[in-house]
Amino acid sequence: MADRNDMLIQRNCPASMEHIARGLSCRIEEAWAERYFGSGAEVVWLEGLVTWLWIRDRRGDLTYLHPNAAQQQYARGRRARNIILKSRQVGMTTYIAARFFLSAIFQPGTVTLQVAHSQESAQQIFRIVQRFFAHLGPMMRQWLAPGVINVRELAFERLDSRYLVDTAGNKNVGRGLTVNNLHASEVALWPGDAQETMATLLAAVPPGGEVDIESTPNGMGGYFYSEWRRALSREGYQPHFFPWWIEREYRLPLIAGEPLEPFSEEETELLAKCGLRKEQILFRRRLHTTLGSRAIQEFAENDTECFLRSGRPVFEIALIEARLRQVGEAHKSELNGALQVWLDPEPGRHYILGADVAEGISGGDYSAAEVIDAETGLQCAEIQVQWPIQRFAEEVARLGHHYNRALLAIERNNHGHAVLNALQHHLEYSPIYRHRDAVDGAMKTGWPMNAKTKPEAVTALARMIQAAPSVFLSRRLLEECRSFDYGDDGEMAARKGTHDDLVIAMAIAQAVRAQGGMIQVASVVR
């Protein structure tokens, strides 16, 4: 290496850096010197170079990146398109950042983008990348001389390479870029519509680029869950799953005189099928004591249960999944699939239509309606559309007439007022549900969805699904149920990136049915 250093100094380095160049000893510096000052041969063995990058370990000490079991397994199995389901802190973000950082400094013209779910996480990732650079050899740092464009971007002007870190909440993330390396971090926790954000990001990646999508689980439904299911079906991305016990540090020493037995059924299965040690079982017990129900979400054990048992679902997920396996196709599909019909109207029977109304713009929320049998609660028909309000009102009126002039229960909030107005004044439809206002006692048209009636109606629907799951026939409705959660504030809502319009429409219909003889009917206003 000494002769080569002398040559490099003469060709490329100022005299003041001679002592630095002569001190080259690390593998990464040698590879870098060969790449830019040597024969010009391409460096294709970047995987091995990650071990020369510096990180902080769990204790906060600076050390070389020693790939752990999860990182090694991922290195062996990764492809150009990867989706990673993982437990917390198995080192995947650091490892991906290391690979992409080396790509940026060894392959000119490389643009790397890492997208985090929060500002804090984005800052943490950028600190990792800055540490990689700060602990390179001094000659490398001087030659690379990155410019800091902003608080989350390094630009290597000499190489025409960029390394960017951003958040999914930035509506302009990825726009205007050609991204060679994309890392989407904690996608299940992304704010807004993750599918739409990923569509924008993927459009920026050329065919030869690499895409790594990773996350801990966050309940069923949403973009990450859907893509993971697709990957398991051998569609889309290459799947990688890393349970918590792959990390060797996730174990606790046994305490003399404190026996672990008897083992629970789950513990016995983990010992037998997964080869866990007693020290890991003790760690697991500590997890469940400290984290409670969130233990399965943060420290996944298999690639199915971690979704079923994560999040805070309103509906009983096991029942929803069981019912999804049972339901078939609707016997009639109209309006390009927007209208699904399972049971046609029977003469003399009464029906109720519950509706949740949205603005009707493309890419926004859906307007939805559910038709049920007023006596049994059996689901008969369903519509889910992104139509202008007037057209949705016309379809609701048509469905109502078709189902023996069904009682229409329309959510009266926001855009629901416009539908109610169209039904009464323009379409001259009757009957329409009315309620007595709790404040002034006046009779008002439509269903009042508020902080009191929403949890009551949805909770009642959850109980009904538990008691009589066979009355629910729609796959779309059931899929919305499994992604309908309690938020941190206790509010019920669809998980980010999913919808709840069918849930609300069905909850309204069943709540009106439960009122029985208290149903009021609005007369036609001519």
- Quote the strand ranges of 49-95, DSSP E: 54-56, 62-64, 81-86
What CATH number labels 45-242? 3.40.50.300
pLDDT of residue 192: 81
Per-residue pLDDT of the chain (526 residues; tens, 9 = 90+): 444 433 433 344 333 333 333 333 356 666 766 666 664 444 445 667 888 899 998 888 989 898 999 999 999 999 999 999 999 889 999 999 999 999 998 888 999 999 999 999 999 999 999 999 999 888 888 888 887 767 789 999 888 999 999 999 998 999 989 999 999 999 998 988 888 999 999 999 999 999 999 999 887 777 898 899 899 988 889 999 999 999 988 999 988 777 888 888 888 988 988 899 999 999 999 888 887 767 777 888 888 777 766 667 788 877 888 899 899 999 999 999 999 999 999 999 999 999 999 875 665 689 999 999 999 999 999 999 999 999 999 999 999 999 999 999 999 887 889 999 999 999 999 899 998 877 777 888 999 988 888 999 999 999 999 999 999 999 999 999 988 887 766 788 887 778 899 999 999 999 999 987 444 444 433 2
pLDDT of residue 483: 82
Locus of tokens 């599909």: 333
pLDDT of residue 12: 40
- 93: enclosing H helix or E strand: helix 92-106
Q: What is the distance of C-alpha 57 from the center of its chain?
A: 28
What does the alpha-carbon distance between residue 271 and residue 263 come to, in Å, rounded to a whole number?
9
pLDDT of residue 149: 66
What does the alpha-carbon distance between residue 526 and residue 246 come to, in Å, rounded to a whole number?
71
What does the alpha-carbon distance between residue 309 and residue 508 come to, in Å, rounded to a whole number?
27
Cα dihedral 121, 123, 125, 131 in deg (nearest 10): -150
Contact between 254 and 282 (Cβ < 8 Å): yes
- Residue 453 in tokens: 């009636």
Instruction: Tell me the three state secondary structure of residue 484.
Output: strand
Buried b (16+ CB within 10 A) or exposed e, 466-480: eeebeebbbebbbbb
pLDDT of residue 369: 97
Total residues found in the chain within this entry: 526
pLDDT of residue 397: 96
Contact between 370 and 502 (Cβ < 8 Å): yes
pLDDT of residue 72: 92
pLDDT of residue 519: 45
Buried b (16+ CB within 10 A) or exposed e, 273-306: eeebebebbbbbeebeeeeeeebbbbbbbebeeb
Nearest to 307 by CA among 318, 323, 292: 318
Reply yes or no on domain 329-521 having CATH 3.30.420.240. Answer: yes
What does the alpha-carbon distance between residue 508 and residue 395 come to, in Å, rounded to a whole number?
18
Locus of tokens 């909440």: 169
Distances from the Cα of 144 to the Cα of 36, 137, 161, 374, angstroms: 11, 11, 10, 73
Query: What single-letter amino acid sits at 134?
Result: A
pLDDT of residue 302: 83
How many other C-beta atoms lie within 10 A of the C-beta of residue 206?
8
- 115: enclosing H helix or E strand: strand 111-116
Nearest to 478 by CA among 464, 497, 457: 464
Residues forming CATH 3.40.50.300 domain(s) in the chain:
45-242
What does the alpha-carbon distance between residue 357 and residue 513 come to, in Å, rounded to a whole number?
19
Asked whether the bond before 455 is cis by omega within 30 degrees of 0, the reply is no
CA Rg value for the chain: 29
Query: What single-letter amino acid sits at 406?
Result: A
pLDDT of residue 114: 97
- 138: enclosing H helix or E strand: helix 138-144
What does the alpha-carbon distance between residue 59 and residue 36 come to, in Å, rounded to a whole number?
36
What does the alpha-carbon distance between residue 95 and residue 83 come to, in Å, rounded to a whole number?
14
Residues forming CATH 3.30.420.240 domain(s) in the chain:
329-521
Question: Is the torsion defined by CA of 375, 377, 378, 384 positive or negative?
Answer: positive
- Residue 383 in tokens: 């519509």
What does the alpha-carbon distance between residue 306 and residue 337 come to, in Å, rounded to a whole number?
32
